[in-house]
Amino acid sequence: MLTPNVVSHTTVRRSNLATAPNPRTSARCSSCAMRHLCMPQGLATDDMPKLEALICSARSVRRGEALYRAGDPFDNLYAVRSGSLKTVMAHRDGREQVTGLRLAGDPLGLDGISTDTHSCTSIALEDSSVCIVPYAALKHMCRESGTMQDRLHRLMSEQLIRESSQMMVLGSLSADERVAAFLLDVSDRNGQRGYSHAEFNLRMTREDMGSYLGMTLETVSRTLSRFQKRGLIDAQGKLIRIIDLEGLRHL
Amino acid sequence: MLTPNVVSHTTVRRSNLATAPNPRTSARCSSCAMRHLCMPQGLATDDMPKLEALICSARSVRRGEALYRAGDPFDNLYAVRSGSLKTVMAHRDGREQVTGLRLAGDPLGLDGISTDTHSCTSIALEDSSVCIVPYAALKHMCRESGTMQDRLHRLMSEQLIRESSQMMVLGSLSADERVAAFLLDVSDRNGQRGYSHAEFNLRMTREDMGSYLGMTLETVSRTLSRFQKRGLIDAQGKLIRIIDLEGLRHL
DNA sequence: CGTGGCTTTGAAATGGGTCAAGATCCGTGG
DNA sequence: CCACGGATCTTGACCCATTTCAAAGCCACG
């Protein structure tokens, strides 16, 4: 069992297969929002103290619970502190589309800025905890610190790119390619967080994956099975081990 | 022939079927970037002069030309002044996906902020002109003016929502629904700009549309023909007239 | 240690893709 | 102003990747 520490950004590689740290432990988090919300890659530290002082209470969200729902008034941004969440957007007829998977360090809630109302729902895929960043305070801070401003802009821009890429996945790739792209993306992001590139616990269900990738859960399942037969991966339910990274890359 | 004026935000309804105003006319644009880049809906005017002074030279882009290409260094944001452009993202294997359609007033280039490099290519669908907004200057300004800062944030957030919605279209809707959603989106945006909700000239080719909607050009064509037979629209090539808006809404 | 949710797998059905042939549009040059 | 040629669009026929429907199995958790 891991200690309830926040993800460290050292180069230590360990797998994140253990269950999430107890989300109930802390009400305040010190360095997490800085590192995570305001750019995974450390960077300048001069105005970290400011942000830390300003921001950063924590909230825990149980598996299946919503951090916020579409339509909720928007006041805070969040940064995933531990665990993972999915963002979901609903069509008027009830159909739902998973629009994102957020891992430790990822920002949440940016979509709320434009209308002062959240436009998607964010649901924990496992017991998770997030840092709360009051948007008004952050905005204020961005006017004092250019570094801060820069980080926020980059964060939003990064998110834009991520979504464009997902549009590309949905619009142009075959089922096999989509699943491969997804596995590679998660592998990569896991690696960036100091976890294993090769092995991870996908907390999403096959249905969530399917929704995110624009296909049915059955097709996801079949595709994973096929990948397994071809020796590309080893999948035991939600536990995925990538065996042939290059193989996946070459589709 | 329309005068080379910039889109007005009055309630005047007119169609935009006429050819675009001559893009070569002006090297400087006064009020356009304000209104357009910094929120289509006018809003506070107190620091407009500042922005106008700061920003806002114009550039014209001929049909088919790129405003910027993926990989280009990022220095400026743009706001469409007249005409329209598509944004395109390329997969390494060469496949391309149209990721957006930008009409008058829409921002362009926000994706470049995160890496100081444009990550998609922006191509004019007709002779167009854009306002150039040097990002460094804008950033500076956002630190002086909260209104400005707010507008920029909202702009980016709006873009995020737009892309999420498109993910929903790509991931969850049938071909018919996609085409209908697209037509309704364009109709709506056209209306917001003071043009007709019912009639517009889609400058994209069927192939562009298909790419944007994750389907082939043939399917787009067939779908439009079917819509026409059902009396939902009247399509003469790129010229689209929506006859039964409600019908389209109900899929 | 049972029950409901999740996953796997099969078989059949189908929506949309692919390929191909014409028709139409449009910019260009004569 | 017209004729030409390439790009774009439409339509048909066939095909196949993915969905749909169905039936077990698995497992995680209370």
Instruction: Name the average pLDDT for chain B.
Output: 85
pLDDT value, residue A122: 97
Mutating which of A38, A76, A95, A114 best tests the B interface, going by the most B Cβ atoms within 10 A? Answer: A114
CATH topology of domain B7-169: Jelly Rolls (2.60.120)
Would you call A157 exposed, middle or buried from its count of C-beta atoms within 10 A (0-12, 13-18, 19+)?
Answer: buried
Q: pLDDT (tens digit, 9 = 90+) per residue, B132-169?
A: 999 999 999 999 999 999 999 999 999 999 999 999 99
CB B151 within 8 A of CB B139: no
pLDDT value, residue B111: 97
pLDDT value, residue A164: 98
Given a cut of 50, whether residue B43 has pLDDT beyond it is no
pTM: 0.86
CA distance B121 to chain A (A): 12
Query: Into which CATH architecture does domain A174-249 fall?
Result: Orthogonal Bundle (1.10)
Amino acid at A32: C
What is the pLDDT averaged over residues B10-20?
37
B58 bridge partner residues: B131
What nucleotide is nearest B214 when CA is compared to C1'?
C16
Q: pLDDT (tens digit, 9 = 90+) per residue, A218-243?
A: 999 999 999 999 999 999 999 999 99
Q: pLDDT (tens digit, 9 = 90+) per residue, A169-217?
A: 999 999 999 999 999 999 999 999 999 999 999 999 999 999 999 999 9
* Ramachandran angles phi, psi of B196, nearest 5°: -75, 140
CB B87 within 8 A of CB B108: yes
Q: Please, what's the b/e burial string for B171-194 (b: 16 or more CB within 10 A of its CB; e: otherwise)?
A: bbbebebbbbbbbeebbebbeebb
What nucleotide is nearest A208 when CA is compared to C1'?
C6
The answer to whether residue B153 neighbours chain A at the CB level (below 8 Å) is yes
Structural domain boundaries of chain A? 7-169, 174-249
Amino acid at A217: L
Given a cut of 50, whether residue B16 has pLDDT beyond it is no
pLDDT value, residue A40: 40
Which residues in chain B have their CB less than 8 angstroms from residue A207's CB? none
The better pLDDT of the pair A186, B37 is held by A186
Residues 76 to 135 of A: which have CB under 8 A from any B CB? 87, 89, 91, 95-100, 110-115, 119-120
